[in-house]
Structure 1
Amino acid sequence: MSERNCLVANDWVCGEYVRTRGQELVDATVQHLGITAASVVIGVLISFPLALLARRARAFAGPVLGVTTVLYSIPSLAMFSLLLPLFGLSVSLVVTGLVLYSLTILVRNILAGLQAVPQEAREAARGMGYGPLRLLWEVELPLALPAMLAGVRIATVSTVALTTVGSIVDYGGLGTLIVGGLQSDFKAQVLTASVLCVLLAVLADLLLLGVQRWLTPWTRVGAPARGGFRIRGLRGRGDTARVEPEKVA
């Protein structure tokens, strides 16, 4: 059977579908990427201060972690229904729901990363005259990056998958094509959109993994299995310092 007739035969694999519906696939992919990126970025911006709050006092840790966990447990249809009066049938409805779902992953990983910073690194920085903000920015954040970026990777892959749920309000990116194909029994559309969704998740994870390895070279394969950290810098006003791994014999 010719490739052109695969549309008539409703085959799962059909190159003619990709050629004739290319713009539709591109538009859905761009919408999927935009919703995912916006949700993860906003989620990080909200999660970071929440993690700092949870770290500051145990009285805040329980409520913050508890609320984010409860939000994650709410079914997507119920979540969107609860948000519908606030945002209507819009892309903001989908992004807000995805942001709320990402909080439990991001807050826990950011908090875990900050709590794992060696106490000796903090004490050394304070001994050099670091204030709280400089200590956070120049010492704690670099050391917490591996756990934080791991959380971003998990949240991103999860959000790529959850974005498809936005199809119920016609803002699901590739999910809208998948649902439309299922309703019309259009096999090529279902398979093509599904494969693209999987590829987006894989590529996003690989891209973030590359960023993580670039920002945290001490975690690469071949790095010392045991080690500590040291703060290099000069004493005095205007001096800079940097945190780097140190081998331990």
Structure 2
Amino acid sequence: MSASPAEDLLQQWESEQARLRQQVLEDDTEDWQRSPDFSGLERVGGVDLSFIKGDDVNACAQLVVLSYPDLQVLYEDSQMVTLTAPYIAGFLAFRETPFLLEALQRLKKNQPTLLPQVVFVDGNGLFHYREFGLACHLGVLSGLPCVGVAKNLLQVQGVNKSEEHQSQIAALQRGGDSFPLIGASGKVLGKALRSSDKSSKPVYVSVGHKISLDTAVRLTHACCRYRVPEPIRQPRRRKLCRQFQTIR
């Protein structure tokens, strides 16, 4: 019996993830990453896809670029988009990456001097079912260092909201404290980070591309005024897609 179209699509996507996964670099590749104070880092980007409530097809693809270390907005781009790929857990990148990549490509074409040196992604990187989340996908296709920062714990590869996990969260005393997210294989897939003294609820940081986990965690903390790093918080706070108001 032949596979259904949905099964064919999943096989195609799994194969594509496996192929691109081989290209992920989990080490620091830029001089600024090796500096204690990130000397040489001037521009940090953030991408996000925001959905209209009750609508899982129309969304707002957003990109901001902030100065570093003062985190002031240098550039912003927002586009209403219509998603065509279906939502399937573990394959979110196939729905979202094309539009986020387009935003980066528009910036590179129109104002290349503002291209970010690193991109924060509202989602996971290596902390994923097959170690290839949205931040990895965007990183490999864009060629830019990427960091995945998720607000909620993805219960995957043996990591779950156990009593031990909750006690580890409670032990995070101040901003910058973290603990590793260790999969069933023993590999560290990411870290839970208390990103701010003001918030006891952690974020979950993982490597996207061209950066080490320790550097990704340190940079995430450096970019946090509140719980969520500014490059990701800014698009939601600024409500860049004004069309949302008219659509509603």
Structure with larger Rg: 1
TM tier, smaller: under 0.3
Answer 1 or 2: which has greater strand percent.
Answer: 2
Q: Structure 2-normalised TM-score?
A: 0.26
Answer 1 or 2: which has greater helix percent.
Answer: 1
Q: Structure 1-normalised TM-score?
A: 0.26
